[in-house]
């Protein structure tokens, strides 16, 4: 059996190195490298698009003259929460990916559940919880006096199963709470590790762009106040 190939990734900048070293050669920060398992060649097709660039849902990308592309205004759907609409630039945009960060207990999950309560009647939505049970999510919704009839939820942490369910129900709004709990079976690292967070986020970003779904990722915050996980995560999304 061929030996599994590994690499070392910097949690600050996402730079990859062939062997461990105390200082990242890309950003100069010390003690930020962690080992990841590289995908075997047979599984490269699952993540190949993220390395070669987004190719769209139809397959291979084609060169297109920009002048031939019809002008389209970004259609924004209001969330029903004025301040949230303001920071989102007017509302939800199809295909956008937003990373929501904040201290524990500050109200990230509550805010997003309130948003779904406001848009659930007119937009298909899916709330994926990896940290709480469905009973806990439903109980919070009832405490907030939300209309739960139009809301669908899924307690799951496998990105493969999440995307399979999303492909069936085709939500217009998808919430992942939280990205640090999501893992992919392509990697052996533990959930929350640099490789798992980066790979799972990449799969969700690709899904958003191909399907036109508005995706919200809830992210943990470190004691220093930054988004936990690889710094490259903040560059993969459209807004933080």
Q: Are residues 23 and 48 in the same domain?
A: no
| 8 and 25, same domain (yes or no) | yes
94 and 10 co-located in one domain: no
Beta bridge partners of 20: none
pLDDT above 90: percentage of residues in the chain: 48
Domain that holds residue 157: 44-52+76-236
Q: Residue 44: pLDDT band by 50, 70, 90 thresholds?
A: very low
Residues 112 and 167 in one domain: yes
CA distance 182 to 13: 21
Q: Comparing 40-49, 188-197, 217-226, which segment has the lowest mean pLDDT?
A: 40-49
Q: Would you say how long the chain is, in residues?
A: 240
**Are 16 and 100 in a shared domain?**
no
* 48 and 24 co-located in one domain: no
176 domain residue, yes or no:
yes
Q: CA-to-CA distance for 73 and 65, rounded, in angstroms?
A: 19
For residue 45, name the pLDDT band (cuts at 50, 70, 90): very low
Domain count, the chain: 2
Q: What is the CATH number of the domain that holds 128?
A: 3.40.50.300
Q: Is the pLDDT of residue 224 over 80?
A: no
Residues 33, 149 within the same domain: no
229 shares a domain with 127? yes
Average pLDDT, the chain: 83
Residue 28: CB atoms within 10 Å? 11
Write the pLDDT tens digit of every residue in 128-155.
999 999 999 999 999 999 988 889 999 9
Selected residue with higher pLDDT from 9 and 141? 141
Domain-embedded: residue 216: yes
Tell whether 153 is covered by a domain.
yes
Q: What is the mean pLDDT of residues 91-98?
A: 94
Domain match, 84 and 142 both? yes
Residues in contact with 173: Cβ distance below 8 Å, sequence separation at least 6, in sequence order: 92, 115, 116, 119, 123, 124, 125, 126, 213, 214, 215, 216
Q: Following DSSP, what letter does each residue of 199-240 receive, concatenated?
A: HHHHHHHHHHHHH--EEEEEE-B-TTSSBSS-THHHHHSSB-
């Amino acid at each position: 059996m061929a030996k599994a190939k590994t690499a070392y990734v910097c949690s600050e900048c996402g730079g990859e190195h062939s062997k461990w070293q105390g200082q990242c050669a890309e950003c100069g920060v010390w003690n930020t490298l962690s080992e990841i398992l590289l995908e075997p060649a047979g599984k490269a097709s699952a993540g190949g698009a993220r390395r070669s660039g987004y190719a769209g849902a139809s397959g291979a990308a084609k060169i297109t003259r920009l002048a031939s592309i019809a002008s389209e205004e970004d259609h924004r759907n209001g969330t029903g929460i004025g301040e949230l609409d303001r920071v989102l630039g007017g509302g939800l945009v199809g295909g956008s990916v937003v990373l929501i960060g904040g201290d524990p207990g500050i109200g990230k999950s509550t805010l997003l559940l309130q948003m779904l309560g406001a848009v659930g009647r007119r937009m298909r939505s899916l709330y994926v919880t990896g940290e709480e049970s469905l009973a806990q999510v439903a109980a919070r919704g009832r405490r907030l006096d939300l209309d739960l009839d139009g809301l669908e939820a899924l307690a799951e942490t496998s990105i493969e199963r999440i995307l399979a369910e999303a492909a069936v129900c085709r939500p217009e709004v998808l919430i992942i709470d939280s990205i640090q709990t999501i893992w992919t079976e392509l990697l052996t690292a533990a959930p929350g590790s640099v490789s798992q967070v980066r790979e799972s986020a990449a799969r969700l970003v690709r899904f958003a762009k191909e399907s036109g779904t508005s995706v919200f990722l809830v992210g943990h915050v470190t004691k220093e106040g930054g988004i936990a996980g690889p710094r490259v995560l903040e560059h993969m999304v459209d807004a933080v």
